[in-house]
Amino acid sequence: MNQSGLHLAIIMDGNGRWAEQRGLPRPAGHRAGARAVRAVVEAAPALGIGTLTLYAFSADNWRRPPREVAALMGLLRRFAIQEAQVLAKADVRLSFIGRRDRLPGPMLEAMAKSEALTATGRSLHLRVAVDYSARDALLHAARHLAQAPAATREGFGALLGSPDVDLLVRTGGDQRLSDFLLWECAYAELMFLPVAWPDFGPADLAACVGDFRARDRRFGGLTAPAPASAR
């Protein structure tokens, strides 16, 4: 079981721009991005990644042109349907985070079926954020917290239903969190890459994890001095 390993979160940015730079319609970039997801998921367990959370569609993405939103919803539905069998065979659990009350019925049906089919996966927990907003998630948890005045940080985190993030990677060149896992990223290591998501592959993933493992994570404390014998 690998789900106690590294929690990697990725903001998969740059799909539309990748397509536009090649004279293609924006949905072509999203389709290329879906292929990149498969390659990254296949490589993740061997790198010690236990949980992989991907930002696929934010609550603010509803502001995009209706045709692009419809294309994204169709792509996400096809991903849930087509990848579920593959993920199940690879012992990968697939789940979705975010609101579900605004999603199309066929999308909800595909999500539920894929979650059920992969529920026993243990090599990796793949979490896909759809219609997700960290601020909305925090507000929802705070409403429940009001009923439990003795709540702790750990308890509040449990209300969010998401483990702390160890490493957050954003592709596409922008350097912001964009309302993604704000509480969970309190002590996350951050990496912002110029590469567009469709061009991000297993080698990039391995480089990010290697960089992460070389970092000194102090969590507000101090690095322990090396033993005298090691100096």
Catalytic amino acids? 13, 61
Q: Which of 115, 105, 129 is nearest to 178 (CA)?
A: 129
Beta strands in 74-193 (DSSP E): 92-97, 124-132, 167-170, 189-192
First to last CA, the chain: 37
Q: How many CB atoms lie within 10 A of CB 86?
A: 14
Classified as helix, coil or strand, 189 is strand
Q: How wide is the angle at C-alpha 224 spanned by C-alphas 216 and 51, nearest 5°?
A: 40
- Reading the block at residue 172, the tokens are 């596409």
For the four alpha carbons of 34, 38, 43 and 49, in that order, the dihedral sign comes to positive
